[in-house]
Every structure is written in C-alpha cells, then in structure tokens.
Amino acid sequence: MIRAVKGTRDLLPPDTAVWNRVEQCAREVFRAYNYHEIRTPILEEEQLFARGVGADTDIVSKEMYAFEDRDGSRLVLRPENTASVIRAYIEHRLDQRPGVQKLYYIGPMFRRERPQKGRYRQFFQIGAEAIGSDSPFVDAEVIEMVSEMLTRTGLSGFTLLINSVGCQNCRPQFVEKLRAALQPIAAQLCTDCQRRAETNPLRVLDCKVPEDQALIGQLPSILDSLCEVCAPHFEHVRTYLTDRGIPFEVKPRLVRGLDYYMRTTFEVTHGDLGAQNSVLGGGRYDGLAESLGSNIHSPGIGFSIGEDRLVMTVAQSEAATLDVFIAHLGEAALRHAGILARDLRREGISVEVAANLKLKRAMELANKAGARYALILGDDEIAAGVYSLKDMKTTEQHRVTREQIFDRIGNRN
C-alpha cells in the first residue's frame, strides 16, 4: 500500500471544518485591517532564499527541498513566504502604488526537518506583510492584528514575546561583543552553535537545544546596544501596545531564525504545544527588498502563523452539521427530492439525498451523518405538497409545506 510521504499528512473531515473556520476568521480580520490576498508560486529560485533568508540559517543550509531543473537552474519548494512576497512586490512594481502595501497569504510551505508535534515537512502558514513604512505604529498595528486573529479563532492563554534586534548601525557592534563573549564558552555549546559562533553569532541566541540555554542566558543583551534610532523605535512599539491593552513580555534574546529581521521581532507561544511551543513569529525587515535587488527603500514588517499548530490549540467547536437528509419512497419521489435539494442548496442549506435506499436504512444513515433534520418524501407527500420533517435531536416529527421547510431549516429552528 502506498502511504503519504513521511512528514506529510492528509487533512480529513471533520478536521477540515476546523481548518476552514480558522482560515475564515483570518480572512475576516485581514479584511478589517485592509489587507489583500497574494498567491505566490510554490516553486522559487534557490537564490531567493539564500540571499533573502540567509545562507547560514538552518532553513537554507539544512531544511530546503532543493533540486536542479532540466535546464540546469536550481529550484526550491518555498520554505517560507516573506521572501517570495517581497520578490513579487519588486517584480510587479507594487512600490509604485500609493500607501503601505498590505498583503496576506494562506498556503503550504516545505522544510525537511524532523517531524514532531504540530510540525510537518509540508506545513501551512497564514501570514501577512505590511510594506512601505518604518513607523513603530505599523509594528504595533500588525501585532494587534495578530492578537485579534488568535482571539477570534478561539485561542486563549497565549503569550506575546517581543524584542528589538537593532539595525545595520548598532547590530554589528553588538555582534562583535557577542562573538567575544562566545569565545570562552563556544566549546561547551552544541555543534551547530560552535559553528554559528564563528559564522553568525546572532544565530546562537536562536538555539533551541535545552542544554545550551543556561550559557546563552548569560550572554550580552542586544537591548543594551541599541542605537539612538532603534531604542526609541522599540520604546514606541511598547507604548502603542500598552495603549491597546495588549500584554507582552520583552525577551532580549528573541532573534528569530531569519537573517532579514531588524528592529522589532515578536513571537507568540502556547503551553499546549510542549517544548516546541511557538504558534507564530514575525518581525521587521527594512533591508530585505534592497538585498533582493530593489532600487527603492521598502521597509516592511510581517508575520507567519503555523496553521497546523494553531488548529491543534484552538477550541474545537462542533463539526459542521448536515442540515437536512432527504429520504424518498420510490423513483418519482427521488426525482422530486433532487429538485427540492437543489433549491434548498441555493439557499445555503446543506443537503444529502438518500439515493436508492430503503426508508429504514436511509434514516439510520441520516442519524450517523449527524443530520439536523430528516425530510421524508413519498407519492402522498408530493401530491399534497406537505412533507414529513423529523427533528433528529428531539425526534419530533411535523407535517410542513415547502415554504415552511425553507423557513424552519433556513433559520435552524
């Protein structure tokens, strides 16, 4: 038997109803904040992520699905979508449009990492990018939107962590300070961090190895090295969040795993996910567009939600129910049922018709399907224009006209 590839999975009903509810909540919030959908290709050139995300990041160096195409070009399955969105922003000259460009996406990403709770090799992200402003007000608004989205999906008890990772002016000095602090302890860290201590010391702060955390906790804080622009920027972000009543914790060693972040970074965690407890992450990336070839300074900030993990943690509401199951008695009734089902469906009512089933078996199936009502059609009912409608919860049965069917079922009475 052929099975799904390791690290991938099939999403089946009734779970897909929860996925749809989460995505619908996200779309409603995006609309309220004037964000518009963008859909980028799953295939991209490898250099997009090497230049944008960073060649020394785990994503690029270890996790990307990369291959050589028939023409010799190097392609990848996109491991994240911010670089793709900025590529599209530059390619299609969205920088020529007035105002901040607010874009969102929902779709699959691919990374070859060890499968674990809530993490898969094909995983799904809900994300957004606000491009064209470096204002801390935009940072706070993006974080507010994230908080609103999580709340609407039913998530509670989450923690918002924020930090500033400085800019091209103050971060180099901090990196040198960090490199010096790492020299005497590098040999005690994991193999990856020993390499990062030389090639990209900031990545050490993103280490998830439990045994390394005590030593990492003693390293210098970047908040002590912020410049005269970054320090007030971060202070304003905190002020705007406080104004909105959004609780947060400042985590000085939160750097995220991507090289393009600068100034504001943030993450949301939830205890139900265990050690790998991050639900979403994001941050500001004011130099990303230039690193990908833009001639126009296009500061931006964005985030991505791990939809797989979010779905795991939200309160699972009742699965979407079937509104009405139609059972028929005879061929003429089946034909009539088909027309009635069509008209009900046009009113947004979900309908299942029992084709070629005896009444007893049809009613058993209606019960197993979780139908709210069962509608019984026979020659007598058709001739009289009055049908038998059974409430599957109360077992009460009523004689109703066609108009009453639409009124009763349409209002879910």
Nearest by Cα to 359 from 390, 319, 320: 390
What single letter denotes the amino acid at residue 254? L
In one-letter notation, the amino acid at residue 173 is Q
Q: What residue spans of 154-223 are helical by DSSP H? A: 171-182, 191-199, 213-216
Q: CA nearest 125: which of 81, 182, 158, 173?
A: 81
DSSP letter at 135 equals: -
- For residues 373 and 77, give the distance between their C-alpha atoms in angstroms, rounded to a whole number: 46
Query: At 194, which helix (H) or strand (E)?
Result: helix 191-199
**pTM of the prediction?**
0.81
Q: Which of 212, 209, 259 lies closest to 56, judged by CA?
A: 259
β-sheet bridge partners, residue 261 = none
Structure tokens at 125: 């992200």
Structure token digits, residue 342 = 């069509």
- Residue 185: Cβ within 10 Å count: 16
- pLDDT computed for residue 118 by the predictor: 65
C-alpha span between 335 and 288 (Å, rounded): 61
Q: What are the backbone angles phi and psi of residue 130, rounded to the nearest 5°?
A: -115, 110
DSSP state, residue 260: T
How far is CA 293 from each of CA 39, 57, 339, rounded to the nearest angstrom? Answer: 21, 20, 58
168: enclosing H helix or E strand = none
User: Whole-angstrom Cα distance, residue 150 to residue 264?
Assistant: 20
pLDDT tens string 157-196: 899 999 999 988 888 888 888 888 888 887 888 888 888 8
Q: So what's the pLDDT on residue 335?
A: 86
- Asked, as a colleague might, if the bond just before 14 is cis with ω within 30 of 0, I would say yes
CA end-to-end distance (rounded Å), the chain = 46
Give residues with Cβ within 8 angstroms of 232, minimum separation 6.
none
The bridge status of strand 373-377 relative to strand 324-328 is parallel
Q: Which segments of the chain have a pLDDT < 50?
A: 317-318, 413
- Cα separation of 394 and 312, whole Å? 32
**Angle between helix 402-410 and helix 331-346 axes, rounded to 10 deg:** 50
pLDDT for 411: 60
Check residue 42 and report its DSSP letter.
S
For the chain, which domains are there? 15-170+226-313 (3.30.930.10), 324-410 (3.40.50.800)
pLDDT at 315: 53
For 108, list phi and psi in degrees, rounded to 5. Answer: -85, 145
If you ran DSSP here, which 8-state letter would residue 8 be given?
-
